[in-house]
Structure 1
Amino acid sequence: MARVSHLPGRAEHHWIWQAEAACRGVGADAFFHTEGEPRPDRAAREEAAKAVCSACPVRARCLEHALRVVEPYGVWGGLTERERQLAARPDAAAA
């Protein structure tokens, strides 16, 4: 039997911010590319996703999450995969 006293406790505070995200109900296809997506379509989709993010009340928390867990795909917190990679570089703060 599990020793309940050794369990880590409640963890919803790690994800509850997502309930207030502007992207809820939008659909993942707006934020993640499909295989073989043409470059112009990808650029248009990313700009539309960033527009959703721009008015999001939890944008900073979303971006913090994406950077912390190194989300490999999609638009998170208003940044694309490449933009997050650049933001995470040690020399990014100096720029």
Structure 2
Amino acid sequence: MEWLRSAACVGEDPELFFPVGTSGPALRDAANAKRVCARCRVTAACLAFALDSPPTSGVWGGTDEEERAELLRTARDDVRRRTSV
């Protein structure tokens, strides 16, 4: 996890990236965390880590838990389609 040292989130409040709940302040925190991710140069490595380490809560690589679950579902569906042909 050498990439973590270069992450834009270094020095940010960790609680920002782990919002509690699914509405109100939690949505605001998740959006703010994603803004930090948007200016990060190691977002791809961070996202890969989160996708390879499920379940991982919080915002990683500019995505929340639901977004990563959808990415994983889509990838599984793509593999199934390719292998069933």
Shorter-chain TM-score: what band? 0.7 to 0.9
Which of 35, 40, 46 is the matching residue for 2:24?
Answer: 40
Larger Rg: 1
More helix by share: 2
Aligned to 1:18: 4
Matched letter for residue 10 of structure 2: R
Q: 1:92 to 1:54 in 2, by over 3 A?
A: farther
Please say if 1:91 is aligned against 2:47. no
TM-score (norm 2): 0.82
Please say if 1:67 is aligned against 2:51. yes
Matched letter for residue 37 of structure 2: C
Matched letter for residue 77 of structure 2: D
- The structure 1 segments of at least 4 consecutive aligned residues displaced by more than 4 Å after TM superposition are none
* Greater alpha carbon shift after TM alignment, 65-74 vs 75-84: 65-74
- The root-mean-square deviation of aligned C-alpha atoms, in Å, is 1.9
Cα offsets for 1:2-39 (capped at 9, x unmatched): xxxxxxxxxxxxx11100000001021110023xx461
TM-score (norm 1): 0.74
Unmatched tracts of structure 2, length 5 or more: none
Aligned to 1:53: 37
